[in-house]
C-alpha cells in the first residue's frame, strides 16, 4: 500500500511540476520548474526499475537541458541582440 | 474573443486526445504482449559480452541505433558550431574571479571526472554507461567554463572537430574491424566483445562530453565584431 | 558480399561524414566527389544483387529480428536507394561548384550531406520501427542544419519552424511505436504484420498516430506551411535534396506502414481523409505556387502540390482488388521518383538562373529566353514532368493512378489528377512566359559554367525519359510493398 | 494493474499537456519545454506499458529502456540544436516567437492560412 | 528487328534529331542550321515516300515496345497515317523554306527553328501513332512545342494569345487523357486500324463507351477547333506567318481533326459509332461549325483572322465526311485532310507575303495588290477559289465527293449545308479577290519593302506558288491512281467492305 502511495505521489508531483512549467508566467521560473520536473522524472525511472535511464535523465534530461535552457533564458534577459536592424539579413541567394 | 475560442478548441482537442490515448493504453494493457522480448535478451545476454542487459541492447543487439544516435549528437553539435562566428566558443565575460566558484571548480572537477570514470566502468555490468558518463564530463566542463580555466580546445578548429568525431569514428572503425574478423558489421568477434564495447564506451564518453559541452557553449551570442554577412 | 554491400550503403556514408568533418569545404569536395562515385557503385551493386537474388532480409550485427535490427532489401527499397544515389550525386556535384567555398561555415555542408545520405539509406532499408525513428531524426536534424547553415535571419526562421514541426511529427510517430511495442512486444515491422494478421488485432489509433506524424513531416495540407520557407530559403542544391529526397523519407515510411498494417488497422475513413487532404494539397499548393513572386518559392510550393498526389495511395490501396492496389503503388512510386528527379533539376536550374540574372524574382527572368540559357531549358523540361505531360515519368505516374482510380470506382481522384495537372501547368507556364517577354532591358547575362548547367539538364532528361522506361523499373518493383516472408 | 501502468497513464497525461502547450504557447523556449515534456510522457508510456506485462509477470524490459536512452539523447540533441538556433535568431531579430510583426516570414505567403496555422504551432 | 520496321522511327527521328542539333548550335551559325533543317526535311520526304510505296503494296511497318504493363508504345505506317505523314513531310519542307526567308535577320532564329522541328516531329508521331496511347503522347508534345512558336515575338499580345492557347489545349489534353485512360481501362490498349473491334464488346459497356466517345471528341475537338471549343484559334494569329501556316495546315488543327478521324474511323468504326447513336449528333455539330465558322469569317476585317475562321469551318468538312455513313462520304472527308492543308497553307503564305512585303494586314488595304505582287496574288486566288469549291480545283473534289456521299447515305440535308457554306465561302473570299485585281492601288503601301527584280523575296514567293500548283493538280488529276482521292477511297473501302 505504501508503495502505491509512493507511486501515486510521484506521478502526481510529476504532473504538477509539468503543468506548472507550462503555465508559469515567468520564463526563468518555468525553466527551474522544468529542471525539477526532470529530477522527478529521474525518481520515476528508479521506481520503474530503470536506473540507467534515471542516471541519464538526471544528467542529461534535467542537468544538461536545464543548464542549456537557463543559459538561453539569461541571454534573453540580458537582451543581447545585434544592434543593426534584422531586415538587412534578408538576402537573395545570388552569388552564394 | 476569437483567441479565447481557439484556445478552448485546442484544449478540448488535447483533452479528447488524452482520453483516447488513455483508453487505448488501457486496452493494450489488458493483454500481455504477443512476444516476450526480455526473455530473448536474457537468453542471449551471455553472448553479448556485458552483464547489463540495457548496455547489451544498446551496444550489441541494436548497436546500429546507437551509431545513428551518436550521429545525431554530432550533427547537432556541428550545426551549433556553424552558427558561431568567433575564433573561440568561450565567453570571457562569463569568466569570473569569484573565489567560491574557483574553489568549487578545484574540488568538484576532479570529483566529477572520477564519477564519470566510474559510470563508464560500471556501465557494462551495472547501471551507467557512456552517455551518463559523458554528461557528467560535460557538466565538469560547464563548471570549468564558469570558472577561470581557459578552454582553448574549444576553438571551432580542427581539435574540436577531431574530438567531436572521435567516438563516432572509433565506433565505425570497430564496426569495420569486426566485419573483417567476423560475419557481419558490428558483429563483435568472440572473446573481444567486452573489450571492444568498453573501448567504444570510453571514446564515446569523451566525445559525448565534448559534444554536449560544445552545444552548451556554442550559443551564438558571444560574438565580437562579427563581419557583416556579405551575400 | 551482402554484408559488405549493406555496409557500403549504411556505414560508408557515415565514414565520409567523419572524414569531411575534419576538412575544409574545398578539400571536402574532392573527398565527397570520390565518395559519391563509391556510393553510386555500391548502390548499383546492391541493385544487381537484388536482381540476382531477389528480396531478402539482412540482420545487422548478426542479430535477426526481433532481437536485432533487420534490413529489408526489396525492389522498392532498391529503387529508393538508386534514386537517392542519383539525386544526391547530382546535388552534391552541383553544390561542390555552386556553393561559395570562401564562406567558413560552408565546410559543414559535406558532413551534413553525408549524414543525410546515410540516414536516407537507412530509412529505405530498415525494417525496424524504432530504427526508422532514429533515421528520421537524423534526417530532420541534418536537413535543419543544411537550411540553417550560414545563419541568416530568414534561414533561421525557416529552419526553426521546420525543426519544431518535424519534432512534433516525430513525437507522434514515436508514440505510435510505443503503443505498438506495448501490444506486440516487438519492433520489427515484418513480425508485427505477421502477428497482426494471425491475431486480428486492430491498431487504428497507433497507426493513425504514426501516419499523422509522418504526414506532418511530409508537409501534407494543412500542415504544409513549414515547407516553402525552408525549401525556398535554402541554397539551391540543398533545396533539391530536401524536395527530392528528404520529404519522401517520411512518406516512404507512411506508405510501408499502410501497406503492411493498413489492411487490418486502417479504416476507410482514414484513407479517404488522407486522400482528401492530399487533393487539397494539390489544389492549394498549385494555387499558391502561381501567386509567388520568387522563383524558388514557386518551385517550393509546387512541392506541396506534388506531394499531395502521393497521398492518393491510401484510398487507392484499401479494399480494392490486388491489381488495382498494385497499379496505385506503382503509380505512387513513379510519382516519387519522377518528382525527385524533376524537382532536383528545377531547383538546381533555378539556382543557376538566379546566379545568371542576379535576382530571385520571377519577373527578373524577362528576356532571358533570348540568351538561350541551358538552365532555362532544363527548368522547362523538368516542368513537363511536373505537369504530367508525356513522355515524362510524371505522366506515367498519372496514367497509372488514373487507371487505378477509374478501376476502383473512385473516379473523384481521377478528377483531382487531371485538375492538378492543369493547375501545375498554370505556374509552370507562368515561368516560361516570363522568360519569353521580349521588351526588357536585360543586356547583361552571366552564363554559368557548363558543368554547373549540365547537372540539372541530366536530371531533367532523366525525369522526362522516365515515362518510356517504366516497364523495367516496375518489373524491379515486382510486388512493391511486398508480401515477402519473414525468414 | 501494476504500478508500472500508473506511470504509463502519467505519461498519457504528460503527452496531452505537452501537445496543448506546444500548440498554445508562442514563445519559442516555452514551445521547446512543452516538446520535452511531451517526449518524457512518451518515454514513460513506452517503458510503463511494456513492463506492465498485461497479465503476464510484470518485470524489467531492457529493450524499451534502451530505446528510451536513445530517445533521450536524440531529444536533448534536438533541444540543444533548437536552442542554438533560437538564440541566434533572437540575436539577429530580437524576436522570441516565430510568427510576428511586419518583417517576419510571411512576405511570400500572405494568403496562405496553412502557413499561419503552422506558425502558431 | 528488320530495317523496314525501323522506318517509322527514322521518319520521326529525322526532325527530332534536327531539332536537338539546331538547339545546340549557336545563334550565329545560321547557315548551318538552315542546312540541317532542309536536309532533314528532304530526308523525311524520301522516307515517307518510300513507306507510302510500301504501304500501297501491303507492307506493314510497325515498331513498338511495352511502356507499362498493358500499355504499348507503337509506331505504325498504314494508309491513313500516310496521308497525314505525307502532308506533314511535304509542307514541312516548303514551310521551312518560307520561314528561312521570312525570318531573315530576326532574332531568336535558333529557338524558332528548334521548336519548329520539334513541332513537325510531333505531327509525324501523331501520324504514325499506332494506338491511342501513342497518339496522346505526341498530341501533348505538339501542344508544348507549338507554344514557343506562338509566343515567339514576345509581345504582350503574343503572350496573351499563348496563354489562351495553352489554356485551351492543355484542358483539352486533360480531357483527352481521361478518355484515353478510361478507354484503356474498358477495352485495353486497342490498336488503330481494326475497325469494329469495339463492336464485339459486352453491350453492358456501351453506355460507358458512349461517354468515353464524347470525352474523346471533346478533348480532340479543342485542337480541331470544333464549336464551341474554337476560341483559341483566331487569337493564335499573332504568331509569325509560317507558324500560322503550319498550325492551320498540318500541325495543331489538323492533329485534332486527324485524331477525330482515328477515333471514329479506326477505334470505334463508323458503323459501330452509328450503332451507338453518336454519328448523327457529331454530323450536326460539324455542320453547325461549318456554317458558324463561315459566318464569323465574313465578319472579320483582318486578313489572317478571316482565314482563321475559314479554317474552323473547313476542318469540319473532314468530320462531316466521316459522319456520312458510307465509303464515298468518308473518302470525301479523308481527302479533305490533304486538300484543305494545301489550300490553306497557300493562303497563309500569301497573307504572310502581303504583310512582310507591303505591311498589309487588313483586307481593305489590299486594293490593287494584284498588280504589285502578281505571283502571290495568283496563288492566293487559286487557293481562294479552291476553298469556295470552284472546279477543277481540289476543294471542288472534296465538296463533290461529300455531296455524292451524302446522297448515297440518304442524308440530303448535308447538300444544303454544303451549298450554303460554299455561298458563304464565296461571300468572304470574292471581295478579297475583287480588291486584289480590280481596285486601284493606293499611292503608298503601309510599309513597303523593295526586293529588286521580284515582287518579293524568292523564298517567300515560291512556296505559295508551288502549293497553288499542287492544289490545281490535286483537282485535275483526282482520278489518277496515286491521287489523294484514290488513296482516300482505298482507305474508305477497306473500312466498309472488309
pLDDT > 70? residue B8: yes
Q: Can you give the pLDDT at residue C481?
A: 41
Would the pLDDT of B50 be above 80? no
Residue E323 phi, psi dihedral angles, 5° rounding: -85, -5
When comparing pLDDT for A88 and E96, which is higher?
A: E96
Residue-wise DSSP of C228-263? HHHHHHS-HHHHHHIIIIIHHHHHHHHHHHHHHHHH
Of A52, A60, A89, the CB nearest to B54: A52
Tell which of B84, B201, B205, B212 to mutate to test the A interface (max A CBs under 10 Å). B212
Answer whether B36 touches D (CB < 8 Å): yes
**Contact assignment for D81 to B31 by CB distance below 8 Å:** no
Candidates C238, C463, C249; CA nearest to C341 is C463
Q: Residue A40 pLDDT more than 90?
A: yes
Instruction: Tell me which of C349-358, D11-20, E158-167, E441-450 is least confident.
Output: E441-450
Most D-contacting residue of C63, C129, C154, C160 (CB-CB within 10 A), to test interface: C160
Assess E108–C contact: CB distance below 8 Å, yes or no.
yes
Query: Higher-confidence residue: E133 or B174?
Result: E133
Whether residues D69 and A56 touch (CB distance < 8 A) is answered with: yes
Mean model confidence pLDDT for chain C: 88
C-alpha cell at B40: 530473448
Flag whether E touches B (3+ CB pairs, 8 A cutoff): no
CA distances from E376 to E346, E465, E473 (A): 9, 7, 18
pLDDT of residue C172: 95
3-state secondary structure of B22: helix
Average pLDDT, integer, range C426-439: 83
The model's pLDDT over E427-463, given as tens digits with 9 standing for 90+, comes to 989 989 888 888 888 877 777 777 666 777 778 888 8
CB-CB under 8 Å, C292 with D108: yes
Q: Are E322 and E268 in contact (CB under 8 A)?
A: no
Within 10 angstroms of residue C361's Cβ, the number of other Cβ atoms is 16
Domain count, chain C: 1
From B202-206, C223-227, D62-66, the region with the lowest mean pLDDT: B202-206
C-contacting chains (≥3 CB pairs under 8 Å): A, B, D, E
Residue C388 lies in a domain: yes
Task: List CB contacts (< 8 A) between C157 and chain D.
Answer: 89, 93, 98, 104-105
Give the nearest partner residue to D50 out of B33, B72, B131, using CB atoms: B33
Give all chains having 3 or more CB-to-CB distances under 8 Å with chain E.
C
Chain A and chain B touch, per 3+ beta carbon pairs within 8 A: yes
| Domains delineated in chain D | 3-120 (1.10.287.3510)
Determine whether the interchain pair D10/A44 forms a contact, defined as Cβ–Cβ distance below 8 Å.
yes
- pTM metric for this prediction: 0.90
Please tell me which residue, D42 or E66, carries the higher pLDDT value: D42
Contact E263, E213 (CB under 8 A): yes
Nearest to C240 by CA among C113, C129, C106: C113
| Dist. CA E14–CA E45, nearest whole Å | 10
CB contact under 8 A, C171 and D115: no
Chain B neighbors of A59, CB-CB under 8 A: 131-132, 135-136, 139
Beta carbons within 10 angstroms of residue E276's beta carbon: 16
Which residue in B has a C-alpha nearest to residue A61's C-alpha? B135
E109 touches chain C (CB under 8 A): no
Instruction: Read off the pLDDT band of C390 (50, 70, 90).
Output: confident
Peptide bond into E228 cis (omega under 30): yes
The answer to whether B135 contacts A67, with C-beta atoms less than 8 Å apart, is no
Distance CA D43, CA C175 (A): 8
Asked if the Cβ–Cβ distance from C21 to B78 is below 8 Å, we say yes
pLDDT band at E64 (very low <50, low <70, confident <90, very high): confident
Average pLDDT over residues C397-425: 91
Q: Which is it for the CA torsion B25, B28, B30, B34, positive or negative?
A: negative
C66 in a domain, yes or no? no
Length, in residues, of chain D: 121
3-state SS string over chain E?
CCHHHHHHHHHHHHHHHHHHHHHHCCCCCHHHHHHHHHHHHHHHHHHHHHHHHHHHCCCCEEEEEEEECCEEEEEEECHHHHHHHHHHHHHHHHHHHHHHHHCCCCCCHHHHHHHHHHHHHHHHHHHHECEHHHHHHHHHHHHHHHHHHHCCCCCHHHHHHHHHHHHHHHHHHHHHHHHHHHHHHHHCCCECCCCCHHHHCCHHHHHHHHHHHHHHHHHHHHHCCCCCCCCHHHHHHHCCHHHHHHHHHCCHHHHHHHHHHHHHHHHHCHHHHHHCCCHHHHHHHHHHHHHHHHHHHHCCCEHHHHHHHHHHHHHHHHHHHHHCCCHHHHHHHHHHHHHHHHHHHHHHHHHHHHHHHHCCCEHHHCCCHHHHCHHHHHHHHHHHHHHHCCCCCHHHHHHHHHHHHHHHCCCCHHHHHHHHHHHHHHHHHHHHHHHHHHCCCCCCCCCCCCCCCCCCCHHHHHHHHHHHHHHHHHHHCCCCCCCHHHHHHHHHHHHHHC
Place of cell 550531406: C113
Q: Which of D31-40, E126-135, E403-412 has the highest mean pLDDT?
A: D31-40
Tell me, yes or no, whether C276 lies in a domain: yes
Specify the DSSP element, H or E, that contains B159: helix B158-181
| Amino acid E179: pLDDT | 92
C189 located within any domain: no
pLDDT tens profile C83-107 = 999 999 999 999 999 988 887 778 8
Residue C229 with chain D: CB contacts under 8 Å: 105, 108-109, 115
B chain contacts of residue C14, beta-carbon cutoff 8 Å: 67, 71, 168, 172
Q: Which residues of A touch B124 (CB under 8 A)?
A: none
Strand partners, C71: C58, C126
**Nearest Cα residue in chain D from A31:** D33
Residue ranges making up the domain that contains C330:
268-477
List chain E residues with CB under 8 Å of C403: 181, 184-185
Q: Are the beta carbons of E164 and E231 closer than 8 angstroms?
A: yes
Query: In this structure, is residue C283 part of a structural domain?
Result: yes
* Distance (Å, whole) CA C287 – CA E270: 43
Supply the DSSP symbol for C426: H
Distance CA D72, CA A60 (A): 8
Mean pLDDT of the E392-419 span: 87
Note the pLDDT of residue B59.
79
Beta carbons of E442 and E369 less than 8 angstroms apart: no
Q: Is the ipTM of this complex over 0.90?
A: no
Q: Could you read off the pLDDT of B53-110 as tens digits, one per residue?
A: 888 888 788 889 988 998 998 999 888 888 766 555 555 555 555 666 667 677 777 8
**Interface touch C22/B67, C-beta < 8 Å:** no
Is the preceding peptide bond at E73 cis, omega within 30 degrees of 0? no
For residue D17, give the nearest of A22, A52, A53 by CB distance: A22
Task: Kindly list the partner chains of chain D, i.e. chains with 3 or more CB atom pairs below 8 Å.
Answer: A, B, C
pLDDT at B227: 42
Task: Please indicate if any CB of chain A lies within 8 Å of the CB of B229.
Answer: yes
What are the DSSP calls for C151-179, one per residue? --HHHHHHHHHHHHHHHHHHHHHHHHHHH
Distance (Å, whole) CA E52 – CA E54: 5
The answer to whether B27 faces chain D, any CB pair under 8 Å, is no
**Which chain D positions have a beta carbon within 8 Å of A60's beta carbon?**
72-73, 76
Cβ-Cβ contacts under 8 Å, B25 against chain D:
5, 8-9, 12, 45, 49
Interface contacts (A, D; CB < 8 Å)? 127
Best residue in C107, C109, C134 for a mutation probing chain B (most B CBs within 10 Å):
C134
Does the pLDDT at position D110 exceed 60? no
What pLDDT was estimated at residue B98?
61
Q: How confident is the model at residue B223 (pLDDT cuts 50, 70, 90)?
A: very low
Strands E61-68 and C70-73: unpaired
Amino acid at each position: 500500500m505504501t508503495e502505491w502511495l509512493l507511486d501515486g505521489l510521484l506521478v502526481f508531483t510529476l504532473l504538477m511540476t509539468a503543468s506548472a512549467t507550462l503555465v508559469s508566467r515567468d520564463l526563468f521560473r518555468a525553466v527551474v520548474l522544468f529542471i525539477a520536473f526532470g529530477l522527478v522524472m529521474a525518481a520515476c525511472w528508479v521506481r520503474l526499475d530503470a536506473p540507467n535511464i534515471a542516471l541519464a535523465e538526471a544528467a542529461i534530461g534535467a542537468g544538461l537541458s536545464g543548464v542549456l535552457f537557463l543559459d538561453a533564458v539569461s541571454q534573453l534577459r540580458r537582451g543581447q541582440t545585434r544592434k543593426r536592424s534584422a531586415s538587412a539579413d534578408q538576402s537573395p541567394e545570388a552569388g552564394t | 474573443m476569437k483567441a479565447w475560442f481557439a484556445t478552448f478548441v485546442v484544449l478540448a482537442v488535447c483533452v479528447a486526445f488524452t482520453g483516447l490515448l488513455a483508453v487505448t493504453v488501457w486496452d493494450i494493457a489488458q493483454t500481455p504482449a504477443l512476444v516476450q522480448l526480455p526473455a530473448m535478451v536474457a537468453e542471449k545476454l551471455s553472448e553479448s559480452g556485458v552483464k547489463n542487459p540495457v548496455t547489451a541492447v544498446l551496444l550489441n543487439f541494436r548497436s546500429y541505433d546507437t551509431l545513428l544516435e551518436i550521429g545525431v549528437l554530432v550533427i547537432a553539435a556541428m550545426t551549433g558550431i556553424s552558427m558561431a562566428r568567433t575564433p573561440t566558443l568561450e565567453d570571457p565575460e562569463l569568466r569570473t574571479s569569484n573565489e567560491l566558484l574557483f574553489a568549487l571548480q578545484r574540488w568538484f572537477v576532479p570529483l566529477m571526472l572520477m564519477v564519470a570514470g566510474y559510470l563508464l566502468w560500471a556501465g557494462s555490468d551495472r547501471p551507467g554507461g557512456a552517455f551518463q558518463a559523458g554528461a557528467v564530463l560535460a557538466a565538469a566542463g560547464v563548471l570549468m567554463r564558469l570558472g577561470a580555466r581557459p578552454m582553448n580546445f574549444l576553438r571551432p578548429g580542427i581539435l574540436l572537430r577531431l574530438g567531436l568525431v572521435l567516438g563516432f569514428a572509433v565506433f565505425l572503425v570497430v564496426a569495420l574491424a569486426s566485419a573483417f574478423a567476423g560475419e557481419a558489421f558490428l558483429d563483435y568477434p568472440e572473446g573481444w566483445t567486452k573489450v571492444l564495447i568498453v573501448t567504444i564506451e570510453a571514446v564515446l564518453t569523451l566525445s559525448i562530453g565534448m559534444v554536449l559541452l560544445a552545444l552548451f557553449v556554442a550559443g551564438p551570442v558571444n560574438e565580437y565584431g562579427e563581419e557583416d554577412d556579405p551575400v | 558480399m551482402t554484408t559488405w554491400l549493406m555496409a557500403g550503403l549504411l556505414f560508408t556514408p557515415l565514414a565520409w561524414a567523419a572524414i569531411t568533418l575534419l576538412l575544409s569545404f574545398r578539400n571536402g569536395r574532392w573527398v565527397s566527389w570520390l565518395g559519391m562515385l563509391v556510393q553510386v557503385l555500391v548502390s548499383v551493386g546492391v541493385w544487381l544483387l537484388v536482381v540476382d537474388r531477389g528480396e531478402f532480409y539482412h540482420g545487422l550485427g548478426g542479430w535477426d529480428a526481433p532481437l536485432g535490427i533487420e534490413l529489408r532489401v526489396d525492389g522498392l527499397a532498391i529503387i529508393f536507394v538508386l534514386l537517392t544515389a542519383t539525386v544526391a550525386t547530382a546535388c552534391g556535384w552541383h553544390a561542390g561548384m555552386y556553393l561559395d567555398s570562401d564562406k567558413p561555415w560552408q565546410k559543414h555542408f559535406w558532413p551534413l550531406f553525408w549524414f543525410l545520405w546515410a540516414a536516407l539509406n537507412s530509412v529505405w532499408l530498415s525494417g525496424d520501427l524504432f530504427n526508422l525513428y532514429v533515421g528520421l531524426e537524423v534526417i530532420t536534424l541534418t536537413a535543419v542544419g543544411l537550411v540553417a547553415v550560414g545563419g541568416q535571419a530568414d534561414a533561421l526562421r525557416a529552419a526553426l519552424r521546420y525543426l519544431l514541426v518535424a519534432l512534433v511529427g516525430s513525437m507522434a510517430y514515436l508514440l505510435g511505436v510505443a503503443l505498438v511495442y506495448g501490444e506486440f512486444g516487438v519492433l520489427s515491422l515484418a513480425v508485427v504484420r505477421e502477428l497482426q494478421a494471425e491475431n486480428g488485432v486492430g491498431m487504428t489509433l497507433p497507426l493513425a498516430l504514426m501516419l499523422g506524424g509522418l504526414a506532418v513531416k511530409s508537409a501534407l495540407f494543412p500542415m504544409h506551411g513549414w515547407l516553402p520557407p525552408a525549401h525556398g530559403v535554402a541554397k539551391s542544391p540543398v533545396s533539391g535534396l530536401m524536395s527530392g529526397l528528404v520529404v519522401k523519407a517520411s512518406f516512404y515510411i507512411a506508405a510501408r506502414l499502410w501497406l503492411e498494417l493498413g489492411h487490418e488497422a486502417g479504416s476507410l475513413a482514414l484513407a479517404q481523409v488522407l486522400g482528401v487532404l492530399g487533393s487539397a494539397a494539390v489544389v492549394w499548393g498549385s494555387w499558391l505556387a502561381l501567386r509567388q513572386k520568387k522563383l524558388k518559392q514557386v518551385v517550393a510550393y509546387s512541392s506541396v502540390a506534388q506531394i499531395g498526389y502521393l497521398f492518393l495511395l491510401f484510398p487507392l490501396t484499401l479494399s480494392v482488388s490486388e491489381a488495382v492496389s498494385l497499379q496505385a503503388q506503382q503509380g505512387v512510386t513513379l510519382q516519387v521518383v519522377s518528382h525527385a528527379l524533376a524537382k532536383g533539376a528545377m531547383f538546381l536550374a533555378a539556382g543557376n538562373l538566379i546566379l545568371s540574372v542576379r535576382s530571385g524574382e520571377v519577373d527578373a527572368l524577362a528576356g532571358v529566353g533570348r540568351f538561350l540559357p541551358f538552365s532555362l531549358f532544363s527548368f522547362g523540361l523538368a516542368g513537363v514532368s511536373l505537369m504530367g505531360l508525356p513522355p515524362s515519368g510524371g505522366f506515367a505516374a498519372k496514367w497509372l493512378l488514373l487507371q487505378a482510380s477509374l478501376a476502383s470506382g473512385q473516379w473523384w481522384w481521377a478528377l483531382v489528377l487531371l485538375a492538378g495537372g492543369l493547375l501545375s501547368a498554370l505556374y509552370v507556364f507562368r515561368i516560361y512566359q516570363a522568360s519569353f517577354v521580349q521588351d526588357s532591358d536585360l543586356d547583361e547575362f552571366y552564363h554559368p559554367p557548363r558543368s554547373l548547367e549540365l547537372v540539372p539538364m541530366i536530371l531533367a532528361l532523366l525525369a522526362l525519359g522516365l515515362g518510356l522506361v517504366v516497364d523495367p523499373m516496375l518489373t524491379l518493383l515486382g510486388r512493391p510493398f511486398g508480401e515477402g516472408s519473414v525468414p | 494493474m501494476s504500478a508500472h501502468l500508473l506511470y504509463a497513464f502519467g505519461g498519457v497525461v504528460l503527452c496531452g499537456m505537452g501537445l496543448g502547450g506546444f500548440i498554445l504557447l508562442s514563445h519559442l523556449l516555452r514551445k521547446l519545454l512543452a516538446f520535452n515534456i511531451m517526449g518524457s510522457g512518451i518515454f514513460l508510456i513506452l517503458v510503463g506499458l511494456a513492463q506492465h506485462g498485461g497479465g503476464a509477470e510484470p518485470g524489467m524490459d531492457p529493450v524499451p529502456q534502451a530505446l528510451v536512452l536513445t530517445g533521450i539523447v536524440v531529444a536533448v540533441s534536438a533541444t540543444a540544436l533548437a536552442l542554438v538556433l533560437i538564440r541566434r535568431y533572437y540575436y539577429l531579430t530580437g524576436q522570441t516567437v516565430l510568427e510576428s510583426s511586419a518583417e517576419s516570414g510571411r512576405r511570400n505567403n500572405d494568403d496562405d492560412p496553412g502557413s499561419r496555422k503552422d506558425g502558431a504551432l | 528487328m528488320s530495317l523496314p520496321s525501323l522506318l517509322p522511327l527514322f521518319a520521326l527521328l529525322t526532325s527530332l534529331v534536327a531539332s536537338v542539333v539546331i538547339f545546340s548550335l549557336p545563334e550565329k551559325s545560321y547557315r548551318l542550321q538552315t542546312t540541317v533543317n532542309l536536309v532533314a526535311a528532304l530526308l523525311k520526304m524520301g522516307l515517307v515516300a518510300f513507306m507510302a510505296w510500301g504501304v500501297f503494296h501491303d507492307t506493314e511497318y510497325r515498331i513498338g515496345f511495352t511502356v507499362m504493363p498493358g500499355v504499348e508504345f507503337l509506331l505504325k505506317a498504314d494508309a491513313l497515317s500516310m496521308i497525314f505523314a505525307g502532308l506533314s513531310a511535304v509542307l514541312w519542307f516548303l514551310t521551312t523554306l518560307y520561314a528561312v526567308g521570312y525570318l531573315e535577320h530576326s532574332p531568336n532564329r535558333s529557338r524558332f527553328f528548334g521548336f519548329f522541328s520539334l513541332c513537325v516531329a510531333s505531327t509525324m508521331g501523331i501520324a504514325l501513332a499506332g494506338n491511342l496511347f501513342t497518339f496522346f503522347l505526341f498530341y501533348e508534345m505538339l501542344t508544348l512545342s507549338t507554344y514557343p512558336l506562338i509566343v515567339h515575338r514576345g509581345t504582350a499580345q503574343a503572350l496573351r494569345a499563348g496563354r489562351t492557347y495553352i489554356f485551351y489545349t492543355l484542358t483539352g489534353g486533360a480531357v483527352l487523357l481521361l478518355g484515353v485512360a478510361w478507354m484503356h481501362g474498358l477495352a485495353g490498349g486497342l490498336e488503330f486500324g481494326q475497325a469494329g473491334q469495339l463492336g464485339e464488346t459486352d453491350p453492358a459497356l456501351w453506355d460507358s463507351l458512349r461517354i468515353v466517345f464524347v470525352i474523346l471528341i471533346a478533348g480532340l475537338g479543342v485542337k480541331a477547333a470544333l464549336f464551341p471549343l474554337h476560341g483559341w484559334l483566331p487569337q493564335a494569329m499573332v504568331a509569325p506567318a509560317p507558324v500560322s501556316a503550319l498550325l492551320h495546315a498540318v500541325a495543331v488543327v489538323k492533329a485534332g481533326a486527324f485524331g477525330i478521324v482515328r477515333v471514329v474511323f479506326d477505334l470505334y468504326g463508323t458503323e459501330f459509332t452509328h450503332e451507338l447513336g453518336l454519328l448523327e449528333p457529331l454530323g450536326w455539330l460539324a455542320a453547325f461549325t461549318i456554317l458558324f465558322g463561315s459566318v464569323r469569317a465574313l465578319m472579320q476585317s483582318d486578313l489572317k483572322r478571316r482565314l482563321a475562321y475559314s479554317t474552323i469551318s473547313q476542318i469540319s468538312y473532314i468530320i462531316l465526311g466521316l459522319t456520312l455513313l458510307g465509303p464515298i462520304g468518308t473518302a470525301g472527308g479523308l481527302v479533305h485532310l490533304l486538300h484543305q492543308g494545301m489550300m490553306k497553307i497557300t493562303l497563309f503564305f500569301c497573307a504572310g507575303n502581303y504583310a512582310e512585303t507591303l505591311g498589309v494586314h487588313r483586307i481593305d488595304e489590299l486594293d490593287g495588290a494584284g498588280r504589285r505582287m502578281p505571283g502571290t496574288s495568283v496563288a492566293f486566288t487559286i487557293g481562294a477559289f479552291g476553298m469556295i469549291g470552284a472546279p477543277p480545283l481540289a476543294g471542288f473534289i472534296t465538296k463533290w465527293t461529300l455531296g455524292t456521299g451524302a446522297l448515297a447515305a440518304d442524308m440530303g440535308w448535308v447538300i444544303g449545308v454544303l451549298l450554303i457554306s460554299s455561298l458563304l465561302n464565296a461571300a468572304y473570299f470574292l471581295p478579297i479577290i475583287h480588291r486584289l485585281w480590280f481596285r486601284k492601288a493606293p499611292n503608298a503601301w503601309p510599309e513597303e519593302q523593295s526586293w529588286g527584280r521580284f515582287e518579293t523575296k524568292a523564298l517567300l514567293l515560291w512556296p505559295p506558288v508551288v502549293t497553288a500548283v499542287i492544289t490545281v493538280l490535286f483537282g485535275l488529276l483526282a482520278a489518277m491512281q496515286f491521287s489523294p482521292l484514290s488513296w482516300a477511297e482505298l482507305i474508305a473501302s477497306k473500312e466498309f467492305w472488309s
